[in-house]
Amino acid sequence: MPYARAVRQWEIRPTSPLRGIKRTRALMWQRIRGLVRACRHGAGYPPMGSERMEMRKRQMSVQQESAAGGTAPAQQDQPGQANPRGSNACCFCWCCCCSCSNEDRDDRNRKASYDVKEGTTDCEDPKPTLEEVRSWGQSFDKLMCCPAGRNSFRQFLRTEFSEENMLFWLACEEFRKETNKSMIEEKARVIYEDYISILSPKEVSLDSRVRETINRNMLEPTSHTFDDAQLQIYTLMQRDSYPRYMNSPAYKNLLNTLSEQSPES
């Protein structure tokens, strides 16, 4: 029948509306793939494994060059162009959709760096005594209770590209002393962005349970928001980095130097 023949021809040779729908669908998926590639390569997709290690190496080299030259590299937007990311209260958001402005984040990073540098005595390079250095080998607690021990251990962690563990622990120690509610909320956001967020190059290694606890606590931050995370990082340094530090040339050379300078020897 003519009608059945027309139906078969329509099934074999789709009409132009169907071809247009297929073409539109193909273009849509092409745009989605382009957006995914842009997010991964151009919007700070969090690196993993060796890429994160390379990022930390580059960051350390840039910081050393900045300290030697007395200037720090700054990223500035083009004049006359507005920042496409506006400020947002979700500064502790650790997902890829966080829309915090770069300027606000830079201000908080500078403030956090200032707190770590001026709020602790570790950066003053204190000179340890022979008795103190010997006590570091007795327990990890004695090492962390000594400012000179924390400083020496921090320098060792820097060579292993895990200095963020000590920085996070120090930041939590200062954070627990804070009593002002508004400052607690601000410092909690700074610590989250610097050490908890997966977008940060200084992200510390925490399990999912602790991360979920922190995410709940960030709704109403207190001075104990990061207690579980601080304990987990402390335990990680004690079990993983502390034994290697005790067997490292840095510790052995320091102990031998002070032993030679001691009047008892």
Closest CA to 114 of 56, 15, 187: 187
Residue 17 within any structural domain of the chain: no
Residue 115 within any structural domain of the chain: no
Number of domains into which the chain is organized: 1
CATH number of domain containing 220: 1.10.167.10
Which domain covers residue 231, as residue numbers?
130-260
Residue 33 within any structural domain of the chain: no
Query: Distance between CA atoms of 44 and 52, rounded to whole angstroms?
Result: 12
H helix or E strand, kind and range, residue 144: helix 140-145
Q: How many residues does the chain have?
A: 265
Which residues touch 47 (CB under 8 Å, ≥6 apart)? 54, 55
Residue 206 within any structural domain of the chain: yes
pTM score of the predicted model: 0.57
pLDDT tens string, the chain, 265 residues long: the values are 555 555 455 444 555 555 556 566 666 766 677 666 665 555 444 444 444 555 566 666 666 666 665 544 444 444 444 444 443 444 444 444 444 445 555 555 555 443 444 344 444 567 899 999 999 999 999 999 999 999 999 999 999 999 999 999 999 999 999 999 999 999 999 999 999 999 999 999 999 999 999 999 999 999 999 999 999 999 999 999 999 999 999 999 999 999 988 776 5
Residue 142 within any structural domain of the chain: yes
Residue 55 within any structural domain of the chain: no
Residue 68 within any structural domain of the chain: no
Residue 154 within any structural domain of the chain: yes
Cα 150–chain centre separation: 20
